[in-house]
Structure 1
Amino acid sequence: MGRRSDHSRDELRRLIIEEGHRHMAEVGFARFSAREVAKRIGYTIGTLYNVFGSYDRMVLAINTRTFALWAEHLRRLLAETREDPIRTLVEAYFSFARDNRNAWMAIYDHRLPPDVPMPDEEAAQRGVLTEIVTREVAAVLPEVSAETVAGLARSLIATVHGHCLFALNGTFALMGEEHPLDMALARVRESIAAAQGTAAPTA
């Protein structure tokens, strides 16, 4: 029997996201089941779709929670270790992905249909991760323009992501590469050094 009167709409949304995220972390996107989430929280699957509007929007919200946890992971490690924030960022990227593999991979396994736009609120929450990286890159490149730093930060995220993904899916192991994190950090430092060498004072 459903418990449709037990929670307000906002409470129900949080409940679905929390339980959905727990389920996603356990089984990954390929085996994720909205019906299982509904069963776990004691509501009908129709209630889930009524709250989010569609399966895709529900998964989007679940994956956004992963982004929020990821950003908090970066903040915490940066607060604990300020000696080398760039290394800390790279290590935090790898450690979060490693320790939350299914939920992390689900971010990239799920694709919104072309006719379903990313809600502004979801985009803003996901953008916090990039903001953290951009802030730390800006701190080591004080003479570089904000626009250049922002572009470099996005490129560095892509670089680290590629190395992290290859480490998790076994590609680097097949190549015989035993230190993908160190390799990623080296590429990041090279890019930052190149930006430092070409920097012109900002107005």
Structure 2
Amino acid sequence: MGRRSDHSRTELRELIVAEGHRQMAEHGFARFSARQVARAIGYSIGTIYNLFPTLDRLIVAINTRTITMWTAFVGQRLDGVGDDRIGVLVRAYFEFASEHTNLWMAIYDHRLPAGMPLPPEDDETRRELTLIVVRELAALLPHLEDTDVERLARSLIATVHGHCTYALNGSFELMGEVDPVGLALDRVREAIAAAKAG
């Protein structure tokens, strides 16, 4: 039974995204269903598509919520840490992905259709996570131009992401690697040392 008058538009949007986020965490991207979200909150699928014109827009909102969680998680790990902040960053990446695997994977499994940009507010929210890395690198590499720091940050995030993906999907285990976090951290430290020397 629908409850079309129970919530304002803002409340309804929050209800949909919160339930979608819960279901994404439970079932993962491949099994995610907007229809199941509608059923769980007691509204019709049409109500969801009235607020999110496409399934892609709903998934973007859910993934942005995950990135907001992730940004807060990393910030908490760094709070009050004086030494080895890069080590904290790398370990926090693996830790979040391990604790929230379905949500983490959904960020990368979802692809927007060609020509559909992220809404500006989502893009800005997502950039905050990268900016944490940029700020930490800038503190270590004050001689680099901002653009070079940002470029290095993107490369190091990709490096850690690749190691984390291999850890979670079992590829490192098949290779006999027992310390994926340490391996990723070694590569990151090498890149930072090279940037300092260069």
Provide the C-alpha distance between the structure 1 equivalents of 2:100 and 2:82, rounded to a whole number of angstroms: 24
**Corresponding residue number in structure 1 for 2:47:** 47
Q: Compute the RMSD of aligned alpha carbons.
A: 0.9
Distance 1:113 1:149 in 2: 30
Cα distance between partner residues in 1 of 2:135 and 2:178: 30
Which moves more between the two structures, 156-165 or 8-17?
A: 8-17
Q: CA deviation at 1:80?
A: 4.3
Residue 73 of structure 2 is matched in structure 1 by 73
Shift of 1:82: 2.8
Any stretches of 5+ residues in structure 2 without a counterpart? Answer: none
- 1:4-31 Cα distance to aligned partner (Å, 9 max, x none): 1111111111111111000000010011
User: How far did 1:158 drift?
Assistant: 0.4
Identity of matched residues, %: 60
TM-score, length basis structure 2: 0.98
How far does the alpha carbon of each residue in 1:58-77 deviate from its partner, in whole angstroms, 9 at most, with x for none? 01110111111000000000
Counterpart in 1 of 2:34?
A: 34
Does residue 154 (structure 1) correspond to residue 154 (structure 2)? The answer is yes
Deviations 1:75-109 (A, max 9, x none): 00000433211000000000000000001001111
> Could you tell me the TM-score, scaled by structure 1's length?
0.95
Partner of 1:7: 7
The separation in 1 between residues aligned to 2:16 and 2:81, in whole angstroms, is 34
- Distance in 1 separating the partners of 2:57 and 2:82: 37
* Alignment: residue pair count: 198
1:143 aligns with 2:151: no
Give yes or no for the alignment of 1:127 onto 2:127: yes
The aligned runs of 1:161-172 (5 Å cut-off) are 161-172=161-172
1:17-53 Cα distance to aligned partner (Å, 9 max, x none)? 1110000000100111111111111111110111011
Are 1:96 and 2:84 matched, yes or no? no
Q: Distance in 2 between matches of 1:92 and 1:31?
A: 27
> What amino acid is the match of 2:11?
E
Aligned partner of 2:16 in structure 1 is 16
Worse-superposed segment, 158-167 or 72-81: 72-81
Matched letter for residue 28 of structure 1: G
SS in 2 for 1:11: helix
